[in-house]
């Protein structure tokens, strides 16, 4: 596996509107290796790949391909040089055949007209050479996702790819299909191709990759051989935690009220073996009144899918949901809202705010059925509700009629929270409630969540920030690859424990008394 460096990047800088997406990143890819590229959201992985493939121009730094300095103006340049990326979303033509897709842009011609016979023959040779049994004349859209991905890879190879970048290739694949993909990848590696593999799934990284580069906040944190790095270490590198460091409280959460020693409160929500598609495999969890249950896990572990299944947005295929011990199984958002489950999406721009409407209209949207009489909105009641919530949550706006898109992220989030609270929920499901919000508003929202739990609401909170989970939750459920793998009670709760569960998939054993 010690091949020549095929691709080398040094000091790569990329800025977007003043922020540095990549801040001096080095990257080295050898021939005949499968190199994993990992990092959380916003770490810079896709930016780095886009610079590799010529989709972005670097602001600073240098790049060498086979020891020759290169600069790509367009993806076509990179492809001509042999660098091909296969994306998560299939970027091919669904309505054309496999042969047409593979030869797109390079169709063999005879006397000015496309030579279909040669195209089919070349495709057959290519596919069988890769060990793929796919009909060249099949329409691409009819094939399974795995097969479509194989075709994308085959296309890349037929262009002459010596560097193949695979971005989350297995996110929609079943296990059997993943095995087929790995087989192909190993064969390519044996033939000298250099592969970059981006994924969040640790099992896969350890199964098929040789080395790993970790990015965090636009910086390369480490490059190591996967045989020398154990999983918890890898997670620590990705999240920027040290295995031994203790953390002081950095969030506004107070100690949860029912931490140990008190009688458990009444059960509010119980989910059993929720399953939906490939991303949510089997999740069971419980929330009691007055509890804040944290939901932890790496990207792709199924947290958002769980939340959306519980709130009727993307209902589960199998599994059961009980609210106060009565079977519920919400199939639409309004069913869930009516039952008392309120959901805050992680993407407030796409799924939260109605941008053209005012603060008042956004705030009262979910409560319209209860604040109208014969379908006519009671203006007086609306004004009262809005005034009350704007004061209580400290929503800063020029007035209730200001357009919501003009508010800061933190204030928008408060409006959305107020919208949920207007429906008098019993259970709040919050997906990354403090993401992308300034520190002041963050603290205010954390305090608010605390108060709500204190007043009897149950809260299920997804957060990627371990401090939030450790300090705010009575309990943390850790998900991995679509399954719940650990439930950490408050006494056992620490960032280290969560990291360990995310990596290994089980709770830490209690430390022996003589631990250093």
Partner 1 sequence: MMRGRTSLDPTRVALGALILLVLVNAWSTPNFATTSNLWNVLLQVSTVALVAIGMTLVVSTGGIDLSVGSVMAVGGAIGAILIPHGVVVAVAAALAGAVAIGLLNGLLVARMGVQPIVVTLATLIGGRGLAQVLSHDGQLVTIQHPGFELLGRGHLGPFPAPVVIMVLVTAVAMFTLRATAFGRYALASGGNAVAARLAGVPVALTVLTVYAGSAGLAGLAGLIEASRLGASDAAKIGMNMELDAIAATVVGGTALTGGRATIVGTVIGALIMQVIATSLNMLLVSYAWSLALKAAIILVAVYFQRPRLV
Q: What is the smallest separation between the CB atom of 503 and partner 1, expressed in angstroms?
A: 33
345 makes contact with partner 1 (CB under 8 A): yes
Contact between 429 and partner 1 by CB under 8 A: the answer reads: no
3-state SS, residue 506: coil
When the beta carbons of 207 and 383 are compared against partner 1, the nearer one is: 383
Q: Is 245 among the residues that bind partner 1 (CB under 8 A)?
A: no
The yes or no reply on residue 183 touching partner 1 (CB under 8 A) is no
Region of 52-60, 169-177, 246-254, 355-363 interacting with partner 1 (CB under 8 A): 355-363
Sheet hosting strand 341-344, strand order edge to edge: 326-327, 318-323, 267-276, 280-288, 483-489, 475-480, 292-296, 458-462, 427-431, 341-344
Burial of 14: CB neighbours in 10 Å, binned 0-12, 13-18, 19+: buried
**Does 474 interact with partner 1 (rule: CB under 8 A)?**
no
Per this entry, what is the length of the chain? 516
338 binds partner 1 (CB under 8 A): yes
Q: Is 426 in the site for partner 1 (CB under 8 A)?
A: no
Report the run of H or E that residue 459 belongs to, with start and end.
strand 458-462
Q: Which stretch binds partner 1 (CB under 8 A): 142-150, 152-160, 212-220, 331-339?
A: 331-339
Among 40, 59, 77, 351, binds partner 1 (CB under 8 A): 351
Q: Closest distance between partner 1 and the C-beta of residue 144, in Å?
A: 24
* Residue from 230, 406, 438, 451 in contact with partner 1 (CB under 8 A): 406
DSSP state of 494: -
Q: How far apart are CA 285 and CA 296, in angstroms?
A: 12
The answer to whether residue 160 forms part of the interface with partner 1 (CB under 8 A) is: no
Q: Which stretch binds partner 1 (CB under 8 A): 63-71, 345-353, 450-458, 503-511?
A: 345-353
Torsions phi, psi for 371 (to 5 deg): -105, 20
Distance of CA 420 to the CA centre of its chain: 24
When asked if residue 365 is in the footprint of partner 1 (CB under 8 A), the reply is yes
DSSP state of 358: B
Helix (H, G, I), strand (E, B) or coil at 139: strand
Determine, following the binding rule CB under 8 A, whether residue 203 of this chain makes contact with partner 1.
Answer: no
Binding residues for partner 1 restricted to 257-276, rule: CB under 8 A: none
Binds partner 1 (CB under 8 A): choice among 71, 186, 379, 392: 379
Regarding 334 and contact with partner 1 (CB under 8 A), the answer is yes
Which lies closer to partner 1 via its Cβ, residue 148 or residue 304? 304
What distance in Å separates the CA atoms of residue 162 and residue 147, rounded to the nearest whole number?
A: 21
Q: How many residues bind partner 1 (CB under 8 A)?
A: 30
| Angle in degrees, CA 113, 118, 124, rounded to 5 | 145
SS3 assignment, position 155: helix
Does position 383 interact with partner 1 (CB under 8 A)? The reply is: no
For partner 1, give the closer residue by CB, 95 or 125. Answer: 95
Q: Is 305 in the site for partner 1 (CB under 8 A)?
A: no
* Residue 380 interacting with partner 1 (CB under 8 A): no
Nearer to partner 1, 94 or 243 (CB): 94
Q: How far is the CB of 333 from partner 1 (least distance, A)?
A: 5
**Counting contacts by CB under 8 A, is residue 173 touching partner 1?**
no
Question: Which of 207, 354, 383, 489 is in the footprint of partner 1 by CB under 8 A?
Answer: 354
Q: Give 262's contacts (C-beta < 8 A, 6+ positions apart).
A: none
Residue 345 CB contacts under 8 Å (≥ 6 apart), including other chains: 313, 351, 352, 431
Does the footprint of partner 1 cover residue 162 (CB under 8 A)? no
Q: Which stretch binds partner 1 (CB under 8 A): 25-33, 99-107, 334-342, 432-440?
A: 334-342
Smallest distance, Å, CB 486 to partner 1?
29
Alpha-carbon gap, residue 352 to 354, rounded angstroms: 7
If we measure between CA atoms, which residue out of 311, 276, 307 comes closest to residue 294?
307
CA–CA distance, 182 with 204 (Å, rounded to integer): 9
Neighbours of 351 (CB within 10 A): 14
Using the rule CB under 8 A, give the single segment among 101-109, 248-256, 265-273, 333-341 that binds partner 1: 333-341
User: Is residue 197 part of the contact set for partner 1 (CB under 8 A)?
Assistant: no
The answer to whether 165 and 86 have CB atoms below 8 angstroms apart is yes
Q: Buried b / exposed e across 28-56, counting CB within 10 Å, b at 16+?
A: ebbbbbbbbbbbbebbbbbbbbbbbbbeb
Residues that bind partner 1 (CB under 8 A): 17, 313, 333-334, 337-338, 343, 345, 350-357, 361, 365-366, 368-369, 372, 375-377, 379, 405-406, 419, 423
């Amino acid at each position: 596996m010690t091949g020549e460096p095929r691709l080398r990047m040094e000091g790569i800088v990329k800025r977007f509107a003043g922020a540095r997406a990549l801040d001096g990143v080095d990257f080295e890819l050898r021939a005949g290796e499968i190199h994993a590229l990992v990092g959380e959201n916003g770490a810079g992985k896709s930016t780095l790949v886009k610079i590799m493939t010529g989709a972005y121009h670097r602001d600073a730094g240098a790049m060498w391909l086979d020891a020759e300095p290169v600069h790509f103006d367009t993806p076509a340049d990179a492809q001509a040089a042999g660098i091909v990326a296969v994306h998560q979303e299939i970027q091919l033509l669904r309505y054309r055949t496999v042969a047409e897709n593979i030869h797109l842009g390079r169709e063999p011609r005879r006397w000015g007209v496309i030579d279909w016979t040669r195209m089919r023959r070349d495709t057959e040779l290519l596919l069988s050479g890769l060990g793929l049994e796919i009909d060249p004349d099949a329409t691409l859209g009819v094939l399974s996702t795995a097969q479509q991905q194989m075709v994308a890879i085959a296309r890349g190879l037929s262009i002459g790819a010596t560097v193949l970048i695979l971005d989350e290739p297995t996110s929609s694949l079943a296990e059997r299909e993943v095995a087929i993909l790995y087989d192909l990848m190993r064969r390519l590696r044996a033939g000298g191709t250099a592969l970059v593999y981006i994924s969040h799934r640790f099992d896969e990284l350890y199964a098929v990759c040789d080395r790993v580069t970790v990015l965090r906040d636009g910086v390369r944190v480490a490059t190591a051989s996967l045989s020398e790095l154990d999983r918890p270490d890898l997670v620590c590198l990705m999240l920027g935690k040290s295995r031994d460091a203790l953390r002081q409280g950095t969030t506004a959460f107070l100690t949860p009220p029912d931490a140990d020693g008190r009688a458990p409160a009444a059960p509010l929500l119980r989910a059993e073996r929720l399953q939906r598609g490939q991303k949510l495999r089997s999740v069971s969890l419980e929330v009691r009144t007055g509890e804040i249950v944290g939901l932890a896990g790496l990207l792709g572990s199924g947290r958002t899918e769980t939340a959306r299944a519980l709130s009727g947005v993307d209902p589960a295929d199998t599994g059961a949901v009980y609210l106060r011990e009565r079977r519920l199984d919400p199939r639409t958002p309004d069913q869930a809202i009516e039952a008392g489950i309120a959901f805050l999406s992680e993407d407030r721009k796409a799924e939260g705010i109605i941008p053209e409407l005012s603060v008042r209209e956004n705030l009262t949207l979910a409560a319209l059925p209860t604040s109208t009489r014969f379908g006519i909105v009671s203006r007086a009641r609306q004004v009262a509700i809005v005034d009350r919530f704007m004061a209580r949550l400290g929503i800063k706006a020029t007035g209730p009629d200001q357009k919501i898109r003009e508010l800061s992220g933190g204030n928008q989030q408060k409006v959305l929270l107020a919208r949920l609270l207007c429906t008098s929920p019993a259970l709040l499901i919050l997906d990354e409630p403090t993401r992308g919000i300034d520190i002041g508003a963050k603290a205010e929202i954390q305090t608010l969540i605390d108060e709500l739990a204190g007043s009897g609401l149950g809260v299920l909170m997804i957060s990627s920030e371990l401090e939030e989970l450790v300090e705010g939750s009575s309990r943390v459920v850790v998900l991995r690859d679509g399954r719940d793998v650990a439930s950490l009670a408050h006494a056992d709760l620490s960032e280290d424990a969560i990291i360990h569960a995310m990596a290994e998939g089980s709770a830490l054993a209690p430390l022996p008394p003589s631990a250093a």
